[in-house]
Amino acid sequence: MKKLQVGILGATGTVGQRMIQLLAEHPWFEVAAVAASGSSAGKPYREAAHWLLDTPLPPLVAALEVQPCRPHLDCDFVLSSLPSDVAKVAEPEFAAAGFPVISNAGTHRMTTDVPLLIPEINGDHVAAIESQHARFGGKGFIVTNPNCSTIGLVIPLAALHESFGVEAVHVVTMQALSGAGYPGVASLDVIDNVIPIGLDEEHKMETEPLKILGRWDGAGFEPADIRVSAMTHRVHVRDGHLEACSVKLARAASAEEVTEAFATFTSKIDELELPTAPKPVIIVDDRIDRPQPRLDRDRSRGMAVVVGPVVPCPVLDYKFRLLSHNTIRGAAGAAVLNAELLYRKGLIR
């Protein structure tokens, strides 16, 4: 089988590097083009990128010349890990030039006709792509994956929503440094410290789950009727976002039933055999001191969400902690999984 050729926008960054790592031995896709800012364009990738991962830079990618982010790349589709302001202009340009754009950036996530995809939960939202044809003309379109903290939260929420209905959520995050990109947060700001991240991150966590758990009605997304309150923090951890979550359920359930709903949650894409899909997508670890970022972020190659013990909450119904690898499950792995779903559905070829 001839592999599909992938272009990576923002290829030198934290998420771009993960994309290259995840595609190094991918059975369907291979990296054919890398693009970044004007300061990297024209250089071989090995010189432009400060490679931070603990696997070697694939030699074929190392030798590629970094290109500017303009829609002249020689590839079948693009994965984008551009900063939001750059994505705002560049991604529609690529879509209008006929490229499927599979994006990590926040810019287009809440746009009416753009799917905010987590294949295990709402793969049927790809139906919205049809509505983009009027905008972009040819075979180009944009799909997005959620914010890195939203992804970890919404996968367990989907299990609870399916079994009992979820009415309200309160979540407090402890987010890893790699979530801020490279070089990210200054070391003297974060050593011996915890930094509140701010309202924009909290707004994403409070709105994106409603679109993901909502319904595409042929013209727009009808959001799920759930109230979410989020408080977000940057902590001195390299990778892996830990979240402390309380939920109010629509239907009464015991703690054992809630745990069972997590443990037995079946992904809607299991039968598609997507190479990057974790099985199961939720791992329950009921040890009282788990999950922990350093010990649990790489479970199922960084693609599973690890949920700790479920205990009664005196304010809402139940509380639990969850962990997901922010640059894999929350970013690069999420985008690659979206590409695999689109490939299986014949939307990229």
Catalytic residue IDs: 148, 241
Nearest approach, Cβ of 297 to ligand NAP (angstroms)? 12
- What are the helix and strand counts (H, E) for the chain? 12, 17
What is the side-by-side order of every strand in the sheet holding 100-103?
Answer: 67-68, 29-36, 4-9, 77-80, 100-103, 141-144
Nearest approach, Cβ of 148 to ligand NAP (angstroms)? 4
- Asked if 24 and 49 touch (Cβ cutoff 8 Å), the reply is no
Nearest approach, Cβ of 80 to ligand NAP (angstroms)? 8
- Asked if 232 and 326 touch (Cβ cutoff 8 Å), the reply is no
Q: With respect to ligand NAP, which residue has the nearer C-beta, 40 or 259?
A: 40
Nearest approach, Cβ of 19 to ligand NAP (angstroms)? 9
Radius of gyration of the chain (CA): 19
Q: With respect to ligand NAP, which residue has the nearer C-beta, 11 or 253?
A: 11
Q: With respect to ligand NAP, which residue has the nearer C-beta, 214 or 240?
A: 240
Closest CA to 242 of 285, 311, 291: 291
* Contacts to ligand NAP by CB under 6 A: 10-16, 36-37, 39-40, 69, 81-84, 86, 104-106, 148, 178-179, 181-182, 326-327, 330-331
Closest CA to 240 of 309, 172, 299, 185: 299
State the DSSP H helix or E strand holding residue 151, giving kind and residue range, or none if neither.
helix 148-163
Looking at beta carbons, which residue is closest to ligand NAP? 13
Q: With respect to ligand NAP, which residue has the nearer C-beta, 35 or 247?
A: 35
Q: With respect to ligand NAP, which residue has the nearer C-beta, 258 or 278?
A: 278
- Asked if 77 and 339 touch (Cβ cutoff 8 Å), the reply is yes
Q: With respect to ligand NAP, which residue has the nearer C-beta, 65 or 162?
A: 65
Q: Where are the beta strands (DSSP E) in the chain?
A: 4-9, 29-36, 67-68, 77-80, 100-103, 141-144, 166-174, 195-196, 215-216, 221-222, 227-231, 233-234, 241-249, 282-284, 305-307, 311-312, 318-324
Query: How far, in Å, CA of 349 to CA of 346, rounded?
Result: 6
Nearest approach, Cβ of 30 to ligand NAP (angstroms)? 19
Nearest approach, Cβ of 103 to ligand NAP (angstroms)? 8
